[in-house]
Chain A
Amino acid sequence: MLSFKVQLFSVLKSKLQTDSVDLETPEGISVSEFLDLACAQYPTMEPYRRVMRLAVNQTYSEDAYILQDGDEVAIITPVSGG
Chain B
Amino acid sequence: MVADESRKRLVQLSYERIDIPAAYRFLQTPGAGGVAVFIGTARQWTGERETLSLSYESYEPMALKEMHRLIDAAEHEWPIQRTCLLHKLGEVRLAEASVLVGVATVHRAEAFTVCRFLIEQLKVQVPIWKQERLTDGLRVWVEGNHPPR
| CB interface residues, B 105-149, toward A, < 8 Å | 119, 122-131, 141-149
User: Which of A11, A51, A81, A82 lies at the interface centre, i.e. has the most chain B CB atoms within 10 A of its CB?
Assistant: A81
Q: How many A-B residue pairs lie within 8 Å, measured between CB atoms?
A: 87
Count contacts on B: residues with CB < 8 A to the other chain: 32
Contact with A along B34-56 (1 / 0, CB 8 A): 00000010000000000000001
Contact with B along A3-40 (1 / 0, CB 8 A): 00001011100100000000000000000000000000
User: Number of contact residues on A: which range applies?
Assistant: 20 to 34
B residues near A (Cβ < 8 Å) are 40, 56-59, 61-63, 65, 87, 98-99, 119, 122-131, 141-149
A residues near B (Cβ < 8 Å) are 7, 9-11, 14, 50-53, 55, 58-60, 74, 76-82
